[in-house]
Chains A and B, each alone.
Chain A
Amino acid sequence: MRLLIRRITDKFFTVLTSASVILLAAALLVVLGPMLLRGAGAVVFDGTVEFRRMQLDLFNRGEADSIEDEVSRAAACRKVVYETIDKFKHGIDVEELSNEAKRIYRLFGRQLRYEGVTGDEYRRVRSLARELRNRLLEAFGSNDRALIERNVDRVLRYRGHRDFADSAASGFFTLAEDFLTSVESIDLNKRRQYADSLRQAEEIIFRLLGPRPDDALPALAMERYGATRWDMAQQLLDDLLWSKQWVEAEPGRPMVKVRTSRAGQFAGTGLEGLFKYVEDNLETMLRPRFTFYWQYLIDDSTPGHYFGGVGPEVLGTLLITLLSMVLVFPLGVVSAAYLVECASDTAAVRIIRMCINTLAGVPSIVFGLFGLAFFVLFLIPLFGGPSKPCILTACLTLAVLTLPVMIRASEEAIRSVPQTYKEASLGLGAGRFVTFVKVTLPAALPGILTGAILSLSRVAGETAPVLFTGAVALGPPPDSLFDPTRTLSYGSYDIAVGDRLAMMVPHKQYGMVVTLVLLILCLNGIAIVLRARIFRKLKGQ
């Protein structure tokens, strides 16, 4: 009976421990898995011709010839889109048409004067042109189809007139013709709605395909290129095909999103076919291709993180981490050595020990404020430097942050070295210092390295301390230790609380966070391998 109970409890123990390990692994997978997948999307994705164009312009990457070739191939397809839109616009953009008519009238007048027509002849021809212009303006501005047809008809009667042949006034006739054709198919009363919807659609097409080939380049880099990623393009396409509105389904209940087809909005007009055309030909217009953008890890980013990579952030994080480890490692080991070897068990030493243990649990933002107050505002000016956050202050703050952990781990490691080694070394005539350096320290190295690994992970991911003491969100790479720098941790925070830009580039946010996680994993991996080697050597393999 006893044996059975023991067997059951043993089994239970095994099951419990394995279950908790599995649970932990599953939790990690659930938390990290999607994040890693999404973050991988920042490096591995389908990039469009816009992306390749952007890479060429901003980072000088890729062959100009092949990209130009691609652009010209896509241009033919895109032209149809632009033409359709332009033609439709003529029918509804009253202001533009009116301006065009006035412009033609002025041009014609200038032409007359240039040809030397003067006096009565000039006035007569001019007043005729004026009448044409006014008829057109009236037609443009009215909603009455009959009136429009009448006016346009009357204007077109003058097409073959000798006064207007081969002159700028022929522009009137093209304008009238185009207007008639486009007006044929639209509902004149809905011109306002058409204008609004068209504006929305145009904006989306602008974000999809970039600026038109003959337009002036916009000032912001992010507006110079269309959709650089195929998944973003797909999303924009969806926005183009369906307009989404929040309507109140029932009074008092939450609002629901209602999708209406834009093609339906423009039913019966020349623009209706545009949407299907874009849907069918988007691939030809954007030419997506599998892209492995590993340069994400080393590229600088355009302001706002819209394009580019996280290069400066990676550099900043690495710099700060390694530098603070360089500071904390010797300090921690020496302090631990003092506490173990030299400190006698007095009240003062006990108080110091208690303080170190307490400091290990202080929140990191407190250290950030301390770093700001002490290092940035007090210590650096004391040595004559400028009182601004920089890499040096950030490293000092982070070193102070992880010092307690390092001291604790080192102390445990040094204490766990068997007394016999010390005895053997002393028995051979070594002094205490030599014994420590040549025997105790090498034997304690695995434990000390464990402490170093823990410190490393913490330092690499800390945001609050560097917030005040050394990190910035934008700026050039640092020139010296007295410059601030960008870091992955602070960058992630900044994007998350930033403006709408974050929503437009979610893959950048995921990418930055995943880069941080992978960086820490790599550093940890190196340190663990190092520690394992030392450990094996100590054990005698």
Chain B
Amino acid sequence: MQKGDNDMLISALESKASKDSITSSVSLGAKASLGNGNKTPDCSCRVIKSENFSFFYGRNAGVKGITMEVYPCSVTAIIGPSGCGKSTFLRSINRINDLIPHTRTEGRLLVNGHNVYDKNTNLVNLRRQVGIVFQKPNPFPKSIFDNIAYGPRLHGVRNRSQLQQIVENSLRAAALWDEVKDDLKKSALSLSGGQQQRVCIARALATEPGILLMDEPCSALDPIATGKIEDLIDRLQSDYTIVIVTHNMQQAARVSRRTAFFCLGRLVEYDLTAKIFRNPGKKQTEDYVTGRFG
């Protein structure tokens, strides 16, 4: 494939105007910003930028000197061998890493133009704007309805019919509505693994985030469920910025637009997926994707 075609493809994608959102009819009201009262961001502002970002567990570096930019309304994959810092970087984006004691950061990590590690960052709003899906499905031990309505209820939605509409929209977006619509009061833990993960995705979507982080979402699932979730990601990418960490290279190739290759805490190469897999620039990348190590 020639470079010119790719560029056209890229620019075509990036200049796409934001379509009607799947979760359109009822929204959560005016979206709050990340701490400094800006207006509602649109698709072109759903961007993550890392500037020489480092994350330290005690004295060991999880990631060092990461500089990259995640483009909006597309899927970006992060691949690499175990322990290379993919999850660390991902979890820093919405500061879920705060749960771990004795950590510190260097550099800047900007989400929609605001440094998330700044002192006056509104964490509640940040986490509303940036949803996350974890590796092992972790629905709350509540009903399916309560699981998905948890986020909206947190942010002030009390109206019963409003909540029901949001839940239905999220479940449709997560491609789970037809399977569970008969009994939303059922406990979420009684579903299969793939369904539970989709509940988690629906739960993350219910707060209408602009950015969706996915930390190896399919690694605990069987191929059929994995396929369903990959289709889901495909459909969501037009409205959300998705960053997916995966150790499955085929999945990265299938699903993502751009891919970042991490190794030993450093960003080795970040480019279009097609290029990374067919014509990688660095030797390390080539060794990894062709299976010589990793």
Interface residues of A (CB under 8 A from B): 418-431, 434, 438-439, 442-443, 537-541
Contacts and interface: CB of A to CB of B under 8 A. Distances in A.
A441 to B, nearest CB: 12
Contact of A538 (B125, B132, B141, B150): B141
A425 B123 CA distance: 13
Contacts of B136: 420
Interface stretch (B55-63, B187-195, B229-237, B241-249): B187-195
A422, A424, A442, A539 pick with most chain B CB within 10 angstroms: A424
Nearest to B136: A420
B127 A429 contact: yes
19 contacts: A421-B138, A423-B138, A424-B200, A425-B140, A425-B150, A426-B127, A427-B94, A427-B127, A427-B204, A428-B150, A428-B151, A428-B204, A429-B128, A429-B151, A430-B150, A539-B187, A540-B141, A540-B190, A541-B187
B141 A428 contact: no
Given A427-B127, A427-B131, A429-B128, A419 B187 contact: no
B154 interface: yes
Nearest to A419: B99
A33 B200 CA distance: 54
B124 interface: yes
Contact of A539 (B125, B139, B189): B189
A428 B94 CA distance: 10
A540 B187 contact: yes
B99 A429 contact: no
Contact of B154 (A423, A430, A443, A539): A430
A351 B128 CA distance: 39
Nearest to B151: A428
B214 to A, nearest CB: 12
B174 to A, nearest CB: 15
Contacts of A419: 99
Nearest to B139: A424
Interface residues of B, number: 30
A443 B141 contact: yes
Q: 9 closest A-B pairs (Cβ-Cβ)?
A: A540-B189, A540-B187, A420-B138, A429-B127, A540-B190, A429-B128, A538-B141, A427-B132, A428-B151
Contact of B125 (A420, A421, A429): A429
Given A427-B204, A428-B204, 9 more contacts: A423-B96, A423-B138, A425-B150, A429-B151, A429-B154, A431-B124, A438-B150, A540-B141, A540-B189
B134 interface: yes
Contacts of B151: 428-429
Contacts of B132: 427
A262 B135 CA distance: 91
B207 interface: yes
B16 interface: no
Contacts of B155: 429
Contacts of A425: 140, 150
Contacts of B64: none
A422 B96 CA distance: 10
A400 B123 CA distance: 39
B203 interface: yes
A434 B153 CA distance: 11
B127, B200, B207 pick with most chain A CB within 10 angstroms: B127
A59 B249 CA distance: 86
Contacts of A430: 124, 150, 154
A540 B188 contact: yes
A514 B132 CA distance: 57
B126, B138, B188 pick with most chain A CB within 10 angstroms: B138
Contacts of A421: 138, 140-141
Contacts of A424: 134, 138-140, 200, 203
B99 A423 contact: yes
A442 B141 contact: yes
B138 A418 contact: yes
Interface in B237-270: none
B265 to A, nearest CB: 22
B200 A428 contact: no
B50 to A, nearest CB: 19
Contacts of B96: 423, 426-427
Contacts of A442: 141-142
A421, A424, A428, A438 pick with most chain B CB within 10 angstroms: A428
Contacts of A427: 94, 96, 127, 131-132, 134, 204
A434 B203 CA distance: 17
B217 to A, nearest CB: 13
Interface in B17-75: none
A541 B143 CA distance: 11
Interface string B92-111: 00101001000000000000
Contact of B134 (A423, A431, A438): A423
B133 to A, nearest CB: 9
B128, B140, B190 pick with most chain A CB within 10 angstroms: B140
A541 B207 contact: no
A427 B127 CA distance: 6
A3 to B, nearest CB: 35
Contacts of B99: 419, 422-423, 426
A389 B112 CA distance: 66
B49 to A, nearest CB: 21
